[in-house]
Amino acid sequence: MVGIEGGSSIELDIICRVNEAVPVPNDFTLHFVSHSDDWRFLKYSEFIINYDGIKKDFGELKVDGEVLDDARVLEQMMAHIGYETFRQMAFARNVRMNLGTQMNDTITPESRVKWQILCNYFDLIKAEQQAKKNSSPSESAPKP
């Protein structure tokens, strides 16, 4: 879960899928989860990220919602961002996210440090893959 300054009662999880065939993800999913007494995003769920003077507008996010047994409302929304955008956000000086009219908050520096660690890990994987590629014998080399 990501730390959000400003007190929004919304959770943000960062999701990426990796496996042996694709050890570095091409994109990430931002998964927003809201628990509240009423619908907060049903009518307006525009999502915008601002970081270091760059604005990324994702438009309206699809809202998946339901009323729970305790009569509270659960709303979930997802946005997909490319690896390079995620990396830029991780190393930005300031990241602000706007979701509908309910969230206009800054991502905490502590959360961005975690993103940076994740990006550094993927950079190491990329460098390792490149080193393996560079050290393998060339197919065009003459055979003895």
For residue 10, pLDDT beyond 80: no
DSSP class of residue 52 equals: T
Q: What is the pTM of this model?
A: 0.78
Question: What number is the average pLDDT over the span 127-132?
Answer: 89
For residue 29, pLDDT beyond 90: yes
Q: Of the CATH numbers 3.30.310, 1.20.120, 3.20.14, 2.60.40, which one belongs to the domain with range 4-132? A: 2.60.40
Strands (E), 37-92: 46-51, 54-60, 64-67, 73-82
Question: What number is the average pLDDT over the span 31-35?
Answer: 88
Rounded Cα–Cα distance for residues 112 and 103 (Å) = 18
Question: What number is the average pLDDT over the span 132-140?
Answer: 74
Q: Where are the domains of the chain?
A: 4-132
Q: Which amino acid is at 2?
A: V
For residue 47, how many other CB atoms are within 10 A of its CB?
A: 21
For residue 17, pLDDT beyond 90: no
pLDDT band at 2 (very low <50, low <70, confident <90, very high): low
Q: What is the mean pLDDT of the chain?
A: 85
